[in-house]
Amino acid sequence: MIDEPTEGLSPQMVNSVELLLKKIVERGVSILLVEQKLTIAFELANKHYGKDVELNRDPDVLDTWFSSGLWPFATLGWPDKKDFVKKFYPTTVLVTGFDIIFFWVSRMIMAGYQFRDNKPFNSVYFTGIVRA
């Protein structure tokens, strides 16, 4: 699928992506390429399909996991209502399931330090998850 290392990707990453793409295609699933650099997306798509393909970037996307990292202060009116954010940020506790620690909680913490120079909450309470 991918003949040589792609710009910005290590050979190990290329191998991992190649294996994942192969397994996805074997199951009959369409491939959606998501890359930070458009040049990498074009190169991966062209190598995968064996020809030049047209890629279109969705103009109206705010990544779910990224936007969830903004939740602790964006819901308080940030960046416009700075006094309201000062009053209620950081909060005392976040209640969540353990399954989204990396996808949501860690992003909240990183975004909190990046945009507010403070942690978003003092404690995290993990609930149990019931699976049927």
Rounded mean pLDDT, 14-24? 65
pLDDT for position 53: 83
Beta strands 121-127; 91-97: pairing state: parallel
Work out the mean pLDDT of the chain and round it to a whole number: 75
Rounded mean pLDDT, 100-111? 82
Whether 87 has a pLDDT exceeding 80, the answer reads yes
Share of residues in the chain with pLDDT > 90 (%)? 0
Any idea which residue has 């190169």 for tokens? Answer: 43
Taking Cα atoms as reference points, which of 34, 29, 115, 38 lies closest to residue 71? 115
Contacts of 54 (CB under 8 A, 6+ apart): none
Whether this prediction's pTM lies above 0.75 is answered by no
